[in-house]
Amino acid sequence: MIYQPQFAPPPVAPPIEPLRCDVLLFVATSTEKEKLREIAGEMGFSFTRINRSFRYYDLGQIGTYQRVLAVKTEIGPFSQGGSAARALMAVAETKATAIISVGMAFGVNRGQQKHGDVLVSNALFTYDDRRVYSTKRRWGKSDYSKLEPYYAKPSLLNSLRSLSSRDEWKNRVRFGPMLTGGARIHCRKFRDELVKALSRENESIIGGEMEGAGLLAASDPAAPTWVIVKGICDFADRRRDEEFEVWRGSACENAARFVLTALRDFDPQAEN
């Protein structure tokens, strides 16, 4: 009799639960993630880690949103872990119809803005998309005349505007167009050049950040899904580094609390 070795069939992996959600929250730094986790816990929401193509955090149901997930990216839109790549992958996996970038930003006017104020983008200007040329008197001159804004998701803006009218948020939240790009700006002159070039007659630039440019890769401009909500931690000038260390915690905390409160209190009937 010839011995026939018996091989056990390979174990069958349990089916992977579909990773669907209504809202994706994007954070880019450890402080942004930790403050989001802290405020979520304070408000009674979960923050459970899920490992898929990369790491998600499940906040569960918030208000009328059946499921909210958070995703941590690297700083800025670049690289495999940057906001562009992560947004494309996360939206494909979750089929989310709303994307909110939460964290910290820079302000543009020390006289009218304060550290910790919350900025909400109704539009984004990708300032890296420009023409750079030289003249007889100057090299490296930038031309932004062809640059058009990308607009945020109207329903998200309406929900955030409604919350901003409450007493606890009055004078602490500002809506307007924001700058987004890959540069870490530590120069008041460059910041002011961008603000002057990209502000419009009826609406001035209110601040800037680095991850929004990447989120645009996962959103149809004709039907946008995103909004940026970030607290001011610095003013993109020579004092940037020292102020960043002092104010990043409160800036991220204010933005996280504002976003989670708006999601919790959203009334779909008010949209009708």
What b/e sequence results for 202-240 when a residue is b if at least 16 CB atoms lie within 10 Å of its CB, and e otherwise?
Answer: eeebbbbbbbbbbbbebbeeeebbbbbbbbbbbbbbeeb
pLDDT digits (tens, 9 = 90+) for 91-124: 999 999 999 999 999 999 999 999 999 999 999 9
pLDDT digits (tens, 9 = 90+) for 11-61: 655 555 679 999 999 999 999 999 999 999 999 999 999 988 889 999 999
Which among 197, 256, 208, 212 is positioned nearest to 41, based on CA atoms?
A: 256
DSSP class of residue 181?
-
Task: Please determine, for residue 1, whether its predicted confidence score (pLDDT) is greater than 90.
Answer: no
* Residue-range domain boundaries for the chain: 23-267
pLDDT digits (tens, 9 = 90+) for 206-233: 999 999 999 999 999 999 999 999 999 9
Write down the pLDDT at residue 202.
Answer: 87
- 23-267: CATH topology is Rossmann fold (3.40.50)
As a whole number of Å, the end-to-end CA separation of the chain is: 79
Supply the pTM of this predicted model: 0.90
pLDDT digits (tens, 9 = 90+) for 66-85: 999 999 999 999 999 999 99
Helix, coil or strand: residue 217: helix
Write down the pLDDT at residue 53.
Answer: 82
Write down the pLDDT at residue 271.
Answer: 56
Q: Where do we find the tokens 């994307």?
A: 99
pLDDT digits (tens, 9 = 90+) for 149-204: 999 999 999 999 999 999 999 999 999 999 999 999 999 999 999 999 999 888 99
Contact (CB, 8 A) for 57 and 256:
no
What is the full DSSP assignment across 114-139?
A: -TT-EEEEEEEEETTS-EEE--SS-S
Task: Please determine, for residue 2, whether its predicted confidence score (pLDDT) is greater than 70.
Answer: no
Write down the pLDDT at residue 140.
Answer: 76
Q: State how far the Cα of 137 lies from the Cα of 109, in Å rounded to an integer.
A: 29
User: Which pairs from 222-225 meet CB under 8 Å and 24+ separation?
Assistant: 224/150, 224/151, 224/152, 224/153, 225/91, 225/96, 225/97, 225/98, 225/99, 225/153
Burial of residue 75, with CB atoms counted within 10 A of its CB: 0-12 exposed, 13-18 middle, 19 or more buried:
middle
